Amino acid sequence: MSVFPDTWWGVVLSYLAVFAGGGLLCASAQMFIIKTKLTPARILVIFLLFGVFLQTIGVFDFLKSIFGSGITVPIVGFGAGLAEGAIKGAQTYGILGAFAGGLIQTAFGVGAAVVASYIVTLLFNSKSK
């Protein structure tokens, strides 16, 4: 659900917001790489935990209504999905549901990524340097 109207101008604003949201995330990740000695893997974990934090305090849905896929596609969206699933699982099934809920919530996306990567390996040959 977007906050922009269903007109051609609203569509343009929506695309600009998606670009701005994703661009801000990418630019902040690049600044982490340039200005700190953090490895890319640690920066990835920071962004994942940032998504969990945003979902836990209830801000992620508001940001999603503005930035759309600019914030849901990167790793921040995956972290928010894990948190959302864990919260729903805990509310439904208790403490064990908190562990399983995140995996259930994100299973489709992970499965699609695995299948897509397998198809790519069938289509292309990798060459070592």
Give the tens place of pLDDT for each residue, 36-58.
Answer: 999 999 999 999 999 999 999 99
Q: State the pLDDT at residue 73.
A: 86
Q: Which amino acid is located at 49 in the chain?
A: L
Mean pLDDT taken over the chain: 91
Express the helix, strand and coil content of the chain in percent, nearest 5 each.
Answer: 80, 0, 20
Tokens of 77: 């969206």
Residue 1's pLDDT is 63
- pTM equals 0.82
Nearest-angstrom CA–CA distance, 52 and 58: 10
Measured between alpha carbons, how far is 58 from 61 in angstroms, rounded to an integer? 7
